[in-house]
Structure 1
Amino acid sequence: MFHLILFQPEIPPNTGNVIRMSANAGARLHLIKPIAFDLDEKSVRRAGMDYAELAHVQQWDSLGRCLTTIGAPRWFAISTRGTTRYDEPRFAPGDAFVFGPETRGLPQEILDLCDEDRRLRIPMRPGNRSLNLSNAVAVVTYEAWRQQDFR
């Protein structure tokens, strides 16, 4: 249905939670290297272990190769610097959502590759730190899936 792309993830439990959530939502998960931990790490296994067989997880050497290979018709960059609220676009099956590393977000050069209207943000109160990565992935994924009437 949808492609979830974690660009250079850094925190194992977040990735474990996203594995679990992607299995529940029927999304494919793509991890862009370098990954700051081993996927066999205990905290990843603990968060996603019941779902590892149900989730489709693939690792890639680069974002460009991932996007080209999966052939996503559209991709969206999720960032606090996004210009479009995450619930404004009409999503379609096959869309891809790219999320940055927990401590620094997506680099500007990745944002620059994305059409401005596809740079999405999740509203937050002013002055607050951004949402936890796994929460942000869930917010966007469930909005996209809701738009498909959870089919």
Structure 2
Amino acid sequence: MNIVLLEPEIPDNTGNIGRSCVATNTRLHLIEPLGFKLSEKRIKRAGMDYWEKLDLTVYSDLEDFYEKNPKAKEHMYFATTKAHHTYKDVLYDCDEYIMFGKESAGIPEEILAENEENCIRIPMWGDIRSLNLSNSVAIILYEALSQHGFEKMQLTGELHRLSYK
């Protein structure tokens, strides 16, 4: 899987998303401009010691991203509150790309209009504008992975029995 962040602004969100990407063996694509430096403490703190294991690529702009990832044009979903379809309406391929926009404005309207059939949303109650970016990524990413039975992921844990007196 591939998570694409278009012009992310908050380092904590990107750090959390990076950690989720490491935990799911997912590539993270960051499209500039970024609202922070990748060397910032906040991004490293949120990503913890997982950040060094992240499969990360940074692109100068959207054109650079598409040039280096030609498959993305055919395998991209766009997460937005403006979509007609929910993230559960999609059958995801293993090499899908899912784009999320910057925290303050989302994905630009012109990009959404050009890709309306591939726009997906997370249902929300009432007049809430949006969910936190890192939460949104986790919700959609784990749905996509669940459709493939969490292939090659650790599915069970082990409880260490302690004796209590």
Q: Which TM-score tier does this pair reach, normalised by the shorter chain?
A: over 0.9
Larger RCO: 1 or 2 (CA < 8 Å, sep 6+): 1
Worse overlay, 57-66 or 120-129: 57-66
Q: Number of residues paired by the alignment?
A: 149
CA displacement at 1:42 relative to structure 2: 0.8
Name the residue aligned to 1:75: 76
Name the residue aligned to 1:139: 139
Q: Give the counterpart letter for 2:114 in structure 1.
A: L
Distance 1:63 1:84 in 2: 24
Q: Give the counterpart letter for 1:102 in structure 2.
A: E
Q: What pairs with 1:1-150 in structure 2 (closer than 5 Å)?
A: 2-70=1-69, 71-72=71-72, 73-114=74-115, 116-150=116-150
**Whose radius of gyration is greater, 1 or 2?**
2
Aligned structure 1 segments of 4 or more residues deviating by more than 6 angstroms: none
The Cα offsets for residues 12-64 of structure 1, whole Å up to 9 and x where unpaired, read as 10000000000001110000000010011111010113112221111001223
Distance 2:67 2:89 in 1: 25
Percent identity between matched residues is: 39
| Contact 2:15 2:44 (8 Å CA) reproduced | yes
The Cα offsets for residues 116-138 of structure 1, whole Å up to 9 and x where unpaired, read as 22100000002113100000000
CA displacement at 1:82 relative to structure 2: 1.1
Give ranges in structure 1 of 5+ residues lacking alignment.
Answer: none
Q: Give the counterpart letter for 2:135 in structure 1.
A: N
Q: Secondary structure at the match of 1:58?
A: strand
- Cα root mean square deviation, aligned: 1.1
| Contact 2:15 2:51 (8 Å CA) reproduced | no
